[in-house]
Amino acid sequence: MLLRAGNLTLLYHGGSLRYFTIEGQEVLRRIYVAIRDGNWGTADIQIQEERIEPSEDTFEIQYRWSTETPRMEGHVHIQGNMDGSVTFDWEGTALESFSKNRVGLCILHPVEGFRGKPVRIIHPNGEDTAAEFPDLIMPHQPFLTIAAMEWDVTPKLKAQIELEGDIFETEDQRNYSDTSYKTYATPQSLPKPVEVEAGETFHQRATLTFTGEWPPFITPDTSVRIDMAGDPQSIPAWGLTWPELDRSISTKEIELLRKLTPAHILLRLDLRKPDWEQDFQATFEQIEKVGVPVQLAVLIDEQYVPSLRLFKSKSLIKEVILLNENGLTTSELLDRALPLLESRWPALQIGGGTNGFFVNFNRHPFDYSRVDFVSYSLSPQVHTFDEVSIIENLAGQADTVRTAAARSGKPVYVSPVLLAPDPDERLHTNFAASWTVGSFKHLAEAGAASVTYYEAFGSNGIIVDDQPTPLYQWFAFLSEFKPERVIPSRVSQPLRCSSLILEKGNKWKTTLLANHTTEELQIRLPGAATITLGPYEWRAVF
């Protein structure tokens, strides 16, 4: 539901406030409640007795809430006033004892328009610190010990958000490919998990206020327009992941995969397992039936480095990512492995980084000059799991590539990209295909050299029960069109639609459009042509 507080517009959705906007510029991305247990599990918050009272330029919302795991309940009161101020007041009571890592309010700040923006951090003792929102992704918290934050909305208007009920700090959520900076309680430096006793109460409040001269109210422009935004650049090599299954690939799966043209298949191998060599030989025989080059991600203890000799006989292996038992590349591992590989296999491309998310790459640097490329994985479902948030965080993928390239000076491989770390039934739907178009857009336009996506077949694959899924159709399009370049493009409503302009070697172009909503969407192309897409539909326009 779209609401107004004076000349501020915002969206109420599922108990939280989103997209605080003035004159087309986001002021805040979201205010919401998160309850995270001692294992960082996220509680599902159920809303009851919801009451929404909007007017032309004010609103008031109240509801009761509860969770099953852990058992909690409470009340929320949200109010928006004619002067643009908004208050989000949250109360909760534990109905049982449990351990927690975080309970309370989270405030998301947008990245677009905020990167590099000065901000004044006001501390609980009344002192303040001049800072700025980071451009490249900060490995650790950029702002600590926060009672309030103040920044310029326009040259004549300042915003301030005051936070009560705990000590807050800010992390750069782009470490997890989220498109936001997040301010939250309690500080990560404090011991956790913390035991919560039955009957314990919590009360936190966030108050957004403004000082200065307001610009006139402008009715939000909801039209969707596409424009070119840069020069052509090379398209990343794309690949798929080989699944870890206790069965052989079927004849139909081989037939379907041979119709695709992935640059590589990612094979993950743990050399610490006692039967790894037998498993490797059996799996490689299956891969050879498809005939696609292999990107090998090897998890290895330093003592097993001599075992790398075995791979030299496999001509399909073109790239190896070296990882230790913690899924990280270290100087010690490179010291042992590089002399063997470089002397016996000089044409091999060797990568380093992590098999975890970008945050692990960002917090564990190594000597990048010793590898040919750097690598990490990503998924949009680390912090939030609803479709709106998953789409909202697409743009954060680009900043991981920009930061990795700036830190390392090496080509960036994102391997693999997953819709979710765990099985997700949406993987086989049009929603996943729509999201993947947006993912490929942001990674390609940011300059990724290589991108690996989902498992090739199986229950978590793009082929399920010998049948192609909507995701398979997307990769079939890439295989048939064979683009060589991507032309950066801009969408006026990036939370509703993605555009991807691809160019062949003969400069023949196509524009791919992906509807990220559950509604029919009209999109205006350059030259005033308009097309209509159904819910989560993607289409190539020639």
How do residues 116-134 score in pLDDT, each as one tens digit?
A: 999 999 999 999 999 999 9
The CATH code belonging to domain 2-212 is 2.70.98.10
Report the Cα–Cα distance between both ends of the chain, in Å, rounded.
36
The CATH code belonging to domain 233-482 is 3.20.20.80
Same fold, 2-212 and 233-482: no
Q: What confidence tier does 348 reach under pLDDT thresholds 50, 70, 90? A: very high
Contacts of 6 (CB under 8 A, 6+ apart): 57, 58, 81, 82, 83, 84, 214, 217
pLDDT for position 528: 67
What mean pLDDT do residues 360-369 have? 98
pLDDT for position 220: 77
Stated as kind and residue range, the H or E segment containing 112 is: none
Stated as kind and residue range, the H or E segment containing 41 is: none
Which pLDDT tens digit goes with each residue over 214-249? 998 888 778 899 988 889 999 999 999 999 988 999
Q: Kindly compute the dihedral angle of the four CA atoms of residues 328, 329, 331, 335, in this order, to the nearest 10 degrees.
A: 130
Q: What angle do CA 467, 469, 470 make, to 5 degrees?
A: 150
Q: Tell me how long the chain is.
A: 542
Buried-state track 229-252, b at ≥16 Cβ within 10 A, e below 16: eeebeebbbbbbbbbeeeeebeee
pLDDT for position 228: 83
pLDDT at 378 > cutoff 70: yes
Residue 220: Cβ within 10 Å count: 12
Contacts of 249 (CB under 8 A, 6+ apart): 257, 286, 289, 290, 457
Sketch the domain layout of the chain as residue ranges.
2-212, 233-482
Which pLDDT tens digit goes with each residue over 457-511? 999 999 999 999 999 999 999 999 999 999 999 999 999 999 999 999 999 999 9
pLDDT for position 383: 87
Model pTM score: 0.94
Q: CA-CA distance, 399 to 116, in Å (whole number)?
A: 14
The single-letter DSSP state of residue 83 is T
Contacts of 59 (CB under 8 A, 6+ apart): 3, 4, 5, 12, 52, 53, 78, 79, 80
Q: CA-CA distance, 366 to 373, in Å (whole number)?
A: 12
For 360-406, give the DSSP string.
Answer: HHHHS---GGGSSEEEEEE-S-SS--SHHHHHHTTTHHHHHHHHHHH
Handedness of CA 244, 245, 250, 252 (dihedral sign): negative
